[in-house]
Structure 1
């Protein structure tokens, strides 16, 4: 990042001191990688907070690239606006203050398209926004969704989750099910930071989605509540999958010996 690093470190330090959630270092590293690989001219971010992630991404855009970022909290939007205005990237970032759902609907009605979308806003809204996000995402575009593992809580039965958090827990499970089973997406869920899903937008005529492969995530997470009987212990799906893989490898070895 060069000369802008101290500026970002200042914003990062202030955010952490004020308990403002910002992207974790490992998440930032993957963001940087995908931006350098994709080289998108347009980026849509949902969840600006104090502007740290937008400013971080702006440093890796190609010439002429722009970011549209959204923040619903007036106090944080004000901080983000000040941080962006005082940065080397003020000409690359447009900040929208208001409801993300309303903005998404407006963008969709105008036929806007984005090759890169970073979703890091209200977790309960992820499945609500997904249909519109798919309309906004270009074919071959990338949708990165942060915090999808909910600090590991997503792997637990809903009966282990405090009642106040069950709606978010259920909706995030619905979101994970949707993005890993959609014919329009190819998705991997990575145990990076608080969980990061990476979805590639496929052509409308894509083949049916293959069973999702999710690194470090139990196969049972793709099931909606109640589909597994509701009584499975946490991690049981993963243990079953590991057992099946072990048995298959044993059978493969035996067949290999028979051919010798």
Structure 2
């Protein structure tokens, strides 16, 4: 745990201060809105934007919108005509995300879908999504993998946050959350149809290419 702050701290020293818009988004959500600090760190958000820029996906699915911090970065990386569908179970939090996406100027390329993520995932056509980012209920990671994998196109990217198993999962129960994430990690790492690498953000991103 001692090295956890060092990655984001070094990234801040390298890239400079957070842009004012993102600073406002975070302050309004965490301080004014009273939400828990469960969003990806600044460097992880930059990685998501970079992966989107490099991969140029036409259709992206995010499981876990929260207040839209990661969605803003993914949307900024989309190619012309690309769209992000982001899933959030809490209608009030989803409304906050919509406001933040609008403030960031990316609302025109993002659909915020309210409801249980598993229900939406079951409606997706096979091979219809080019990139999936999972950052929602940790105990549901294995279920999300089983439902999202068939929808992911060959050559698509599958990305999961909290791969280093060192976040605060007390809301869901630490043991159950860590067990579920471990199940996800083992399944992805051992799959013959996924090539994966771990990216060292504060909480770890596991990035996989479907082949």
Deviation at 1:25, TM superposition (A): 1.3
Deviation at 1:114, TM superposition (A): 1.2
Partner of 1:234 in structure 2? Answer: none
What is the aligned-residue RMSD (CA, Å)? 2.2
Structure 1 residue corresponding to 2:158, chosen from 123, 136, 143: 143
Deviation at 1:65, TM superposition (A): 1.1
Partner of 1:11 in structure 2? Answer: 25
Deviation at 1:15, TM superposition (A): 2.7
Partner of 2:63 in structure 1? Answer: 46
Alpha-carbon separation, structure 2, partners of 1:190 and 1:65 = 25
Q: Which runs of 4+ in 1 moved over 6 A?
A: none
Q: State yes or no: 1:66 paired with 2:83.
A: yes
| Gapped regions of structure 2 (runs ≥ 5) | 1-18
TM-score between both structures, scaled by the size of structure 1: 0.67
Q: State yes or no: 1:125 paired with 2:140.
A: yes
Alpha-carbon separation, structure 2, partners of 1:112 and 1:201 = 11
Partner of 1:116 in structure 2? Answer: 131
Alpha-carbon separation, structure 2, partners of 1:13 and 1:56 = 17
Distance verdict in 2 for CA 1:37–1:171, change over 3 Å: same
How many aligned positions are there? 189
SS in 2 for 1:106: coil
Alpha-carbon separation, structure 2, partners of 1:52 and 1:165 = 24
Deviation at 1:99, TM superposition (A): 0.1
Deviation at 1:147, TM superposition (A): 0.9
Partner of 1:76 in structure 2? Answer: 93
Structure 1 residue corresponding to 2:54, chosen from 25, 37, 46: 37
- Which structure's relative contact order is higher, taking Cα pairs within 8 Å and 6+ residues apart? 2
Higher alpha-carbon Rg: 1
Alpha-carbon separation, structure 1, partners of 2:156 and 2:163 = 19
Q: State yes or no: 1:90 paired with 2:107.
A: yes
Residues 50, 77 of structure 2: 8 Å contact kept? no
